[in-house]
Amino acid sequence: MEADKLQKYCGISRNIEESSVNIHPIQRGGVLTSEAKKVLLSFGDGYSMCDYCFEASITKVKKPPVVDFIQDLAKFLDIDEVRPTAGARHAKRVIMEAIAEPGDTVVIDSLAHYTTYISCEAAKLNVKEVPHSGYPEFVLNVEDYATKIEEVEDSTGKLPVLVVLTHVDYNYGNLSDAKRVAEIAHKYGIPFLLNGAYTIGIMPVSGRDLGADFIVASGHKSMSASAPIGLLGATSEWAERVFERSKIKGDWSGRTFGAKEYHILGCPPVFGPSLATLMASFPKVVERIKHWDEELEKACYFSDNMQKIEGIKQLGKKPKEHTLIHFESPSFHEIAQHHKRKGFFLYDALKKKKIMGVHPGLSKSFKVNVFNLSWEQIKYVVESFQEIAELYGITVH
């Protein structure tokens, strides 16, 4: 390898947060707090949380107070036991591996993130989807969980091993009734996994109130933490299974690893910026979910005013119950057909106004997330979209 060609890797940089209003659909909840930024440098090194590890587990470290933090995370999720993982997807994978056998079936919502599907695939499980209502609202009929559970039993002779609900989905930002899904799952004696990647750290969620047996959360998606870090929460009933301690024994050496929880591969290797930023952001995260009402007010304002642009229509449930918003925009798409930059015209026009996060090239439909933007920013973004529309001769009502 030629040394001079490698130098470009040192020069990577990014200043989107500092220079723009970022409305990227998957980024808003992961933007670091100022407190998190402060700890980034001091905990940047690989094993920087492990200086005082006395019990062979990052979750037991007292300095910094990880051991207390893990307890507080459990209180925050309102579930008995919590472990950090390398992301929500790893948490889902662990649950499936721990409680299912190859060939078993998992009932999932058809709005689920792709990682729910491929976690099942990796664990050699079949999926049975609960349908949604389709265009334009894409609403999950949670009562269908019962139907689907019974269909699985009828066709395989065995109940599904797990019921999964994506609390808020990644595509339309629809909030589903988790409590009702839990009731249905429990009626059949099936454990219920709530995927809170888009809700935990953003809005109030109580595992206990909702009846979740498992919760997964994402630090980098919704808890203002550096990637990758997720959370796996379990009730005490299930914790023994998913956090089962290692029993393997070296046949020659006799070595054993009884302190290690083997499904999560022992210490989740989050012992640098991931865990440090999750901790440092936590007090603000605990505080911010109390103001969810105002976030929704801003989301509704944003959606309503975007829809004053001719042809712009919000997809998903109305009024908004989450800050992730999907719009279809045939009027923008019409412009793109005749523009020399095609669909990129929208990205270009927004960039000129220092608004980043709409996927470059998209004009037919696009997603944004307005979480944690100020009213001033919300208004600025809406007005900018309206100005761009007018510039291209689209009526704004």
Restricted to residues 97-126, the positions that interact with a second copy (CB under 8 A) are 97, 102, 110, 114-115, 117-122
Scanning the structure block, which residue is given the tokens 């046949």?
251
Q: Which stretch binds a second copy (CB under 8 A): 225-233, 294-302, 303-311, 370-378?
A: 225-233
Cα-atom radius of gyration of the chain, to the nearest Å? 23
Spacing of C-alpha 89 from chain mean position: 9
Across 131-143, b (16+ Cβ under 10 Å) vs e yields ebeeeeebebebe
Scanning the structure block, which residue is given the tokens 């290797």?
269
- Does 319 engage in binding with a second copy (CB under 8 A)? no
Question: CB within 8 A of 239, min separation 6: which ones?
Answer: 80, 81
Residues linked to residue 328 through DSSP beta bridges, in sequence order: 313, 365
- Does 6 engage in binding with a second copy (CB under 8 A)? yes
Mask for 336-375, x = binds a second copy (CB under 8 A): --------------------x---xx--------------
- Does 321 engage in binding with a second copy (CB under 8 A)? no
Closest to a second copy by CB, 296 vs 362, is 362
- Does 283 engage in binding with a second copy (CB under 8 A)? yes
Closest to a second copy by CB, 71 vs 307, is 71
Q: Which of the residues 251 through 270 are near a second copy (CB under 8 A)?
A: 251-253, 255, 257, 260, 262-263, 265-266, 268-270
Half-sphere exposure of 299 (CA within 13 A, CB side): 30
Q: Which of the residues 234 through 253 are near a second copy (CB under 8 A)?
A: 246-248, 250-253
Q: Which stretch binds a second copy (CB under 8 A): 26-34, 208-216, 303-311, 320-328?
A: 26-34
Closest to a second copy by CB, 136 vs 269, is 269
Q: d(Cα 29, Cα 23) in Å, to the nearest integer?
A: 10
- Does 136 engage in binding with a second copy (CB under 8 A)? no
Q: d(Cα 98, Cα 203) in Å, to the nearest integer?
A: 29
Nearest to 138 by CA among 114, 110, 179, 113: 110
